[in-house]
DNA sequence: TTGTAGGCGTTATCAT
DNA sequence: ATGATAACGCCTACAA
């Protein structure tokens, strides 16, 4: 039924003009007679003509495709953390509106043969106009090579340098501080934290915010109140268990991710303790299910679609020749108070 | 530091052979002297050469890229349902291993000008070797046009026909039946259901499984025990509220998604009732957080990575000239019993 | 075994 | 305003 893709040559033949003219007409050049353009455009619509991206990329040096590296190393199931998906939604929308599609790098040896491709090679292979990195290990030598290259990169939740690279992330330091302040205002003085993967910038920043606020409040900073996690559920569970096993266990805990906070909730329950009465919990992210735990999670909300959109915008302006934007974009976070720190609905 | 991408011509010049020979050497043709190949390959490695996908696609008619349409119409935030992400992980891994990358269609008018592109045009534009559809409305005329076209398509959780199209989904009918059976075995006789978006195949199949099993068990099928939802949390909440408001409310409910089951959990709690004592709940999907609700959710587990991998395999074999695989792949589901139907941990 | 040359579908630079 | 024509980078007959 549907015939093969018509090419620009077809259009030229059928409309009785040259391919050059067809191209110009379709691309809205001014030096085409209204009549010709009309005819060509109509024909193109009738035949459902689409330009071949490959051909265009070849001559234009622009693919209108943004590459996406999405990993969360350390053997964690990648493409798995809910946080990134919500960011991705924002990224996709923004980029789509700007005329870009998203290439999710999946293969380490695209096409046939040629052996495994490095990050840089994969980006060049598809001639992507820019690259977004999420959850990637910035200290990986291959990543560093990519960052040093001519490819425009923007990292979400990772701090990357370089002339044509940018970072976008939440104000994690402020977030950590805010979480602690909230708990302190509730009367807590024994406030612990469960960190994210400490190799990552957000984890370090949130920890720093935690520490600075603890000290600012005149509370004692205790090493044993810092449990090291990896953002995922199990580490939250384990971290909380360790904290509860202390001689003087905390009465409140700030987990650097909702997933870990959920794990902490579980551990607290298993210890026959109650949230928030025995120990209050605040998470980070405000991913979808944060409102669905029991009790619902108080958390520091990140503007996830906003992060994605910001990443897209930065990248687009990096690609174009617009005035150089700032080196890093930082988005504010917002405290969302729910049951895990607030009163307990049922009780009078 | 990093110089511009070397082309095959560069390699030819530097290695003192013609471009044709370089191409053959790199692509593993046999009619190249071992010595020449060695030299060329080494040089390619040294210069970090990557073939330009665009050029290759142009001549080869193969892009080694699979397109992905990921929507969940009806105004729902797309790219948002956890289920699809877990499927995506499996898809990405499988496709990656097979040498394909994934193009996430984002823009409705890729490149500049040319106006909005239909599904088919977007697929052709990038010359993708195949397309995966997830959560897309199969009755959309534009989707139908894509399905009638020469583009190979595989739908996840959607039933699509056509010579070069395939479907992969879980055994939803069996899943619905199994859920009901489980509840019946627990002694329940008033078993209700909250359906998924009834326009979708999985929702209808799960409902059918529910109904058939109800009848098979000799229980009465009651229209008022069927609440219509849309897979998302709020509809589960609303559905459950409606069910609880019945004169003779159910003592058990089968929700066609974990998200709705979570919503039901909330509604039950607000009604001062308890799970599973007052009403037992079983969900569907077994998405990540199903084990984290309170109580944890009994659910029908779908093999999500398996669905993704199957989709990839089917597509790859559809693209190649391998013997035609079956028209549809159906994966088994598995009952995972947790607290929302089983005993209640804390109590003796 | 290797070189030459045509062509994939576009855009862009010339003339005309 | 339009038509040739040369790239873009690669693959693949066809010759040699």
pLDDT digits 0-9 by tens, B300-309: 999 999 999 9
Q: Nucleotides of chain D within 7 Å of a protein C-beta? A: 1-5, 7-13
Does residue A76 sit at the B interface (CB-CB below 8 Å)? no
3-state secondary structure of B317: helix
Give pLDDT tens digits for A105-137: 988 766 545 556 789 999 999 999 999 999 888
* Interchain pair A104, B92: CB under 8 A: yes
Q: What is the pLDDT of residue B115?
A: 56
Q: What is the pLDDT of residue A118?
A: 87
Q: What is the pLDDT of residue B63?
A: 97
For residue A48, what is the DSSP state?
T
List the structure tokens of B132.
Answer: 């995966």
* Interchain pair B28, A292: CB under 8 A: no
Q: Is the peptide bond before B295 cis (omega within 30 degrees of 0)?
A: yes
B51 vs A280: CA distance, rounded Å? 56
Does residue A4 sit at the B interface (CB-CB below 8 Å)? yes
Tell me the residues of chain B between 248 and 267 that have a Cβ less than 8 Å away from chain A.
262, 265-266
Please report which helix (H) or strand (E) contains residue B69, including its range. Answer: strand B65-70
Please report which confidence band the pLDDT of residue A163 belongs to, taking 50, 70 and 90 as the band edges: confident
Out of B63, B104, B114, name the one closest to residue A26 (CB). B114
Indicate the pairing of strand B252-255 with strand B280-285.
Answer: parallel
Question: What percent of chain B has a predicted confidence (pLDDT) above 90?
Answer: 80
Does residue B69 sit at the A interface (CB-CB below 8 Å)? no
The C1' atom of C14 and the CA atom of A21 lie apart, in whole Å, by 14
Q: What is the pLDDT of residue B324?
A: 67
Please report which confidence band the pLDDT of residue B327 belongs to, taking 50, 70 and 90 as the band edges: confident
Q: Phi/psi at A334 (nearest 5 deg)?
A: -140, 130
User: SS in 3 state form for B192-228?
Assistant: EEEECCCCCHHHHHHHHHHHHHHHHCCCCCCHHHEEE
> Nearest 5°: CA angle at B114, between B113 and B120?
135
B293 vs A291: CA distance, rounded Å? 10
Please report which confidence band the pLDDT of residue A14 belongs to, taking 50, 70 and 90 as the band edges: very high
The C1' atom of C2 and the CA atom of A114 lie apart, in whole Å, by 21
Out of A52, A86, A96, name the one closest to residue B107 (CB). A96
Q: What is the pLDDT of residue B346?
A: 39
Does residue A99 sit at the B interface (CB-CB below 8 Å)? yes
* Interchain pair A101, B106: CB under 8 A: yes
Q: What is the pLDDT of residue B343?
A: 63
Q: What is the pLDDT of residue A2?
A: 46
The C1' atom of C11 and the CA atom of B320 lie apart, in whole Å, by 33
Residue A73 has pLDDT above 80, yes or no: no
CB contact set of B188 (below 8 Å; sequence gap of 6+): B251, B252, B280
Q: What is the pLDDT of residue B104?
A: 96
Does residue A338 sit at the B interface (CB-CB below 8 Å)? no
| Protein residue closest via CA to C1' of D11 | B59
Nearest to A310 by CA among A202, A171, A167: A167
A192 strand-pairing partners: A253
Q: What is the pLDDT of residue A82?
A: 85
Does residue A55 sit at the B interface (CB-CB below 8 Å)? yes
Q: Are A247 and A274 in contact (CB under 8 A)?
A: no
A288 vs A302: CA distance, rounded Å? 12
3-state secondary structure of B334: strand
Out of A58, A79, A96, name the one closest to residue B58 (CB). A58
Residue A347 has pLDDT above 50, yes or no: no
Residue B161 has pLDDT above 60, yes or no: yes
Does residue A108 sit at the B interface (CB-CB below 8 Å)? yes
List the structure tokens of B212.
Answer: 């058939």
Q: What is the pLDDT of residue A78?
A: 54
User: SS in 3 state form for A98-128?
Assistant: CCCEEEECCCCCCCCCCCCCCHHHHHHHCCC
Sign of the dihedral defined by the CA atoms of residues A105, A107, A108, A112, in that order: negative
Nearest to B341 by CA among B200, B221, B180: B180
Please report which confidence band the pLDDT of residue B38 belongs to, taking 50, 70 and 90 as the band edges: very high
3-state secondary structure of B109: coil
Please report which confidence band the pLDDT of residue A348 belongs to, taking 50, 70 and 90 as the band edges: very low
Please report which helix (H) or strand (E) contains residue A343, including its range. Answer: none
* Interchain pair B58, A53: CB under 8 A: no
Chain centroid to Cα B138, Å, comes to 14
Q: What is the pLDDT of residue B136?
A: 87
Distances (CA, A) of B206 to A228, B211, B316: 43, 9, 29
Q: What is the pLDDT of residue A346?
A: 39
Please report which confidence band the pLDDT of residue B78 belongs to, taking 50, 70 and 90 as the band edges: low
Tell me the residues of chain A between 163 and 222 that have a Cβ less than 8 Å away from chain B.
none
Average pLDDT over every residue of A142-163: 92
Distances (CA, A) of A58 to A9, A66, A186: 17, 16, 61
Q: How far is A220 from chain B (nearest CA, A)?
A: 33
The strand order across the sheet containing A130-134 reads A328-331, A165-170, A153-156, A130-134, A65-70, A101-104, B101-104, B65-70, B130-134, B153-156, B165-170, B328-331
CB contact set of B59 (below 8 Å; sequence gap of 6+): none
A64 vs A129: CA distance, rounded Å? 6
Least confident of B48-57, B222-231, B339-348: B339-348
Spell out residues with C-beta < 7 A from strand D: A 16-21, 24, 30-33, 35-36, 55, 58-59; B 7-9, 19-20, 23-24, 26-27, 49-52, 55-56, 58-60
Cα-trace Rg, chain A: 26
Out of A79, A265, A293, name the one closest to residue B89 (CB). A79
Does residue B27 sit at the A interface (CB-CB below 8 Å)? yes
Please give the torsion angle defined by the CA atoms of residues B11, B15, B16 and B20, in that order, rounded to the nearest 10 degrees.
-50
Give pLDDT tens digits for A94-108: 999 999 999 999 887
A&B contacts, CB < 8 Å: 212
The C1' atom of D1 and the CA atom of A316 lie apart, in whole Å, by 35
Return the closest nucleotide (C1') to the Cα of A61: D8
Distances (CA, A) of B340 to B120, B144, B182, B255, B280: 44, 41, 12, 12, 6
* Interchain pair B118, A266: CB under 8 A: no
> Which of B107, B108, B233, B339 would best serve as a mutation to test chain A binding (most A beta carbons within 10 A)?
B107
Question: Helices (H) and strands (E) in chain B — how many of each?
Answer: 12, 12
Q: Nucleotides of chain C within 7 Å of a protein C-beta? A: 1-13
Average pLDDT over every residue of B23-46: 94
List the structure tokens of A285.
Answer: 């992210």
Cα-trace Rg, chain B: 26
Chain centroid to Cα A309, Å, comes to 10
Please report which helix (H) or strand (E) contains residue B245, including its range. Answer: none
The C1' atom of C1 and the CA atom of B24 lie apart, in whole Å, by 11
Q: Phi/psi at B284 (nearest 5 deg)?
A: -150, 135
Give pLDDT tens digits for B182-196: 999 999 999 999 999
B26 vs A293: CA distance, rounded Å? 55
Q: Nearest residue of B to residue A92 by CA position?
A: B106
Question: What percent of chain A has a predicted confidence (pLDDT) above 90?
Answer: 80
Whole-prediction pTM: 0.93
Residue B209 has pLDDT above 90, yes or no: yes
Q: Are B71 and A68 in contact (CB under 8 A)?
A: no
Buried b (16+ CB within 10 A) or exposed e, B237-266: bbbbbbbbeeeebbbbbbbbbbbbbbbbbb
Average pLDDT over every residue of A248-253: 98
* Interchain pair B110, A99: CB under 8 A: yes
Please report which confidence band the pLDDT of residue A344 belongs to, taking 50, 70 and 90 as the band edges: very low
Give pLDDT tens digits for A227-246: 999 999 999 999 999 999 99
Provide, as residue numbers in chain A, all residues whose Cβ is less than 8 Å from the Cβ of B89: 77-80
A31 vs A278: CA distance, rounded Å? 76
Please report which confidence band the pLDDT of residue A328 belongs to, taking 50, 70 and 90 as the band edges: confident
Q: How far is A27 from chain B (nearest CA, A)?
A: 6
Please state, rounded to an integer, the average pLDDT across all residues of chain A: 91
* Interchain pair A95, B106: CB under 8 A: yes
Packing angle between helix A8-15 and helix A34-47, nearest 10 degrees?
120
Please state, rounded to an integer, the average pLDDT across all residues of chain B: 91
Q: What is the pLDDT of residue B1?
A: 41
Domains along chain B with CATH numbers: 8-60 (1.10.260.40), 65-169+305-330 (3.40.50.2300), 172-302 (3.40.50.2300)
Give pLDDT tens digits for A187-226: 999 999 999 999 999 999 999 999 999 999 999 999 999 9
> Which range in A103-117, A150-164, B259-273, B321-335 is most confidently predicted, on average pLDDT?
B259-273
Q: What is the pLDDT of residue A320?
A: 85
Q: What is the pLDDT of residue A59?
A: 96
| Protein residue closest via CA to C1' of C7 | B59
How many CA atoms does the CB half-sphere of A281 hold within 13 Å?
Answer: 37
């Amino acid at each position: 039924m549907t015939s093969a893709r018509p090419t620009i040559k077809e259009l030229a033949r059928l409309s009785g003009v040259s391919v050059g003219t067809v191209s110009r007409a379709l691309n809205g050049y001014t030096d085409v007679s209204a009549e010709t353009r009309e005819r060509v455009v109509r024909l193109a619509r009738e035949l459902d003509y689409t330009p071949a991206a490959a051909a265009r990329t070849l001559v234009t040096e622009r693919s209108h495709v943004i590459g996406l590296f999405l990993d969360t190393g350390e053997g964690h199931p990648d493409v798995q953390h809910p946080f990134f998906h919500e960011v991705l939604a924002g990224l996709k929308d923004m980029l789509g509106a700007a005329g870009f599609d998203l290439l999710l790098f999946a293969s380490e040896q695209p096409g046939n043969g040629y052996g495994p491709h490095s990050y840089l090679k994969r980006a060049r292979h598809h001639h992507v106009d820019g690259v977004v990195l999420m959850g990637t290990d910035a200290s990986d030598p291959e990543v560093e090579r990519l960052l040093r290259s001519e490819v425009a990169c923007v990292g979400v939740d990772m701090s990357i340098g370089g002339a044509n690279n940018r970072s976008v992330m939440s104000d994690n330091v402020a977030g950590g501080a805010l979480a602690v302040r909230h708990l302190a205002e509730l009367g807590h003085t024994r406030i612990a934290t469960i960190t994210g993967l400490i190799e990552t910038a957000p984890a370090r920043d949130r920890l720093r915010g935690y520490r600075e606020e603890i000290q600012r409040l005149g509370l004692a900073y205790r090493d044993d109140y810092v449990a090291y996690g990896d953002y995922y559920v199990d580490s939250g569970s384990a971290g909380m268990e360790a904290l509860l096993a202390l001689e003087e266990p905390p009465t409140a805990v700030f987990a650097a991710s909702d997933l870990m906070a959920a794990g902490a909730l579980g551990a607290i329950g298993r210890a026959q303790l109650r949230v928030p009465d025995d120990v209050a919990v605040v998470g980070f992210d405000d991913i979808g299910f944060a409102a669905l735990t029991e009790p619902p999670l108080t958390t520091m909300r990140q503007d996830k679609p906003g992060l994605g959109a910001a990443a897209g915008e930065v990248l687009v302006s990096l690609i174009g020749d617009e005035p150089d934007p700032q080196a890093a974009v930082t988005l504010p976070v917002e405290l969302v108070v729910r049951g895990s720190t607030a009163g307990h609905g049922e009780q009078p």
